[in-house]
Structure 1
Amino acid sequence: MSRNIVEIFRLSFHLGGRVILRDVSVAIHEGEWVSIVGPNGAGKTTLLKCLGRIHKVGKGQIRIAGKPQEKYCQKDLARLVTYVPQANGPAPPFTTCEFVRMGRYPYPALYTHVGTEGSCWSRVTEPRTQWRGSLFEPRSGVSGTTQR
């Protein structure tokens, strides 16, 4: 039996006096793939930002791996929840490898070993051969999917 890895209970969020999320509840089981769909302005991104503590939850509770979200320090939460926004402008001047290395920041022991092109190549892309051509190119030169 799988456990709930994410639990959201009666989450509400207001921004500028406007209700963005009202009484949202969901349980996501470990290993489960979930899609969040809805029209523009429905609150999909806001829900993800609340999950990653980018937005402070107004009402309700979020539990991650059985623990209340507010009990995690930011670094520990970053090990469990990652949010990569859709780019709305030019990509920052980082290579794909540099961008991936930034995502490894919550793991200092691993982060220090991903300092050279060779180690980044082997640790990050060994199973992902389709990235090899774009690994050390600026992110602005690769597709939006590869950027994310």
Structure 2
Amino acid sequence: EKAEALGVPAGPERSRLVRGESVTLADGRIVHPDDVLGEPVPGAKLVYVGDASRVDDLVEEARGADVLVVEATYLEAEADLARKYGHLTAAQAATLAREAQVRQLYLTHISRRYSEREVLAEAEPIFPHTVVAKDFDRVRVVKQQ
């Protein structure tokens, strides 16, 4: 609306403004991004963590995520194997979710040696909003209000 009122034509000029670049109009006026853009509106935040082996350096990256998807290949009883092979336990993933204050945790890359029930039994006491993801699951990520 502001760009239109200032006479910025639709198309490349408006795209440049959105990218943070100033534009020069045909009449010589210069329009700066601050002239037409409002405050940034944060969108939904999805964080995906693959093979990690540790989470201490991931808390800030995941902070406030609407959805956190984390591999949880092992249970805590086999934490030594998790470390050895560069994976996380369900407890570590849940702890990351709790410390990062995310809304929903999806665990993936679960070893076939564990049942969904076992994985949830370890994760949910730490972070109640936990789901074990299944192949081809679809998740709608909605930003926090």
Name the TM-score, length of structure 1 as normaliser.
0.24
Q: Which has the higher strand share?
A: 1
Q: Which has the larger radius of gyration?
A: 2
